[in-house]
Copies of this chain bind each other. A is one copy, B any other.
Amino acid sequence: MMSRPIILGIVGDSAAGKTTLTRGIAQALGPENVTIICTDDYHRYDRQQRAEIGITALHPDCNHLDIMQQHLSLLRTGQPILKPVYSHKTGTFEAPKYIKPSKFVIIEGLLGYSTRAARDSYDVKVYLAPPEELRARWKVKRDTQKRGYTPEQVLAELEKREPDSAQFIRPQRQWSDIVISFYPPTDEDDETNGHLNVRLVLRPTIPHPDFTVITNSSYGNSDSAIRLGLDRDMCKPVDVLEVDGHATLEQVNKLEHIICSDMPHLRNICDRESNPELGKIAGTTGETLQSYPLALTQLIITYHMLKATQIYQ
């Protein structure tokens, strides 16, 4: 069989945590094996043009979706692309970049699942859906620190973008194999990122590890920090795996064991000593925190990426 890159999609609204998750997965797979592409580079208009036209970057018409899709198809067959480069710092386009796909390709962006042909190009499709209040907080933090906006500007922008978010971004949730929602625990004062819980919607569109053992064990009951249950998501039946931020290392290790059992290579990745980065995030004051929910999320996605190499290569 022909060897081709394995392609992961990470789609979600602005500041939903795409870049953080992308970096974590790339770290787990080995950065030298991963090509990261942000679909913001496929904007049709620069910042000034968008303001003049009165269009948001979330609107399909504001993006060269056909070219994004063409580049996805080329990457999927192992061909290089000359990728446009949009600078969030200046809001303008820079010299394009020559990209030869590595073993793994991560495509992260706003509209990655908006056309059928684009959707068909991914091996694994992730959608990030934090609660809107949390996303607003993340966006204010990032855009004031890294993109030179004031908090008021960011909140106004969020409001302006809401109709497009509802019409074009959020419906893409239906096409994902995994929906990821980090959320703050309701009954605690402590809401640092390190203690966020995660809710993973696992659609039966890709072969997930068999988590049903959780439902039969004591640590899978509703009081446990790790829970599995049936639910519906956008009207379709799904498994929902929840991991709380206060889960213990012992509980987490059990879940990791399930994920790694049919994937020996993954055991090295789980190993906290050789991969201290797994689940690491920057806390609110820049300190490094270890998040078990994030580590498990990264591990499940990594599992699917490695699984895809077995299936297709």
Interface residues of A (CB under 8 A from B): 42, 44, 46, 64, 66-67, 70, 74, 79-82, 84, 92-96, 98
Contacts and interface: CB of A to CB of B under 8 A. Distances in A.
9 contacts: A44-B98, A46-B95, A64-B82, A67-B82, A70-B74, A82-B84, A92-B95, A93-B94, A93-B96
B96 A81 contact: no
A170 B122 CA distance: 44
Contacts of A44: 98
A232 to B, nearest CB: 40
B93 A67 contact: no
Given A82-B84, A84-B82, A98 B67 contact: yes
A66 B93 CA distance: 22
Q: Which of A44, A66, A79, A82 has the most CB of B within 10 A?
A: A82
Contacts of A81: 67, 70
A275 to B, nearest CB: 36
A39 to B, nearest CB: 13
Contacts of A92: 95
Contacts of A95: 46, 84, 92-93
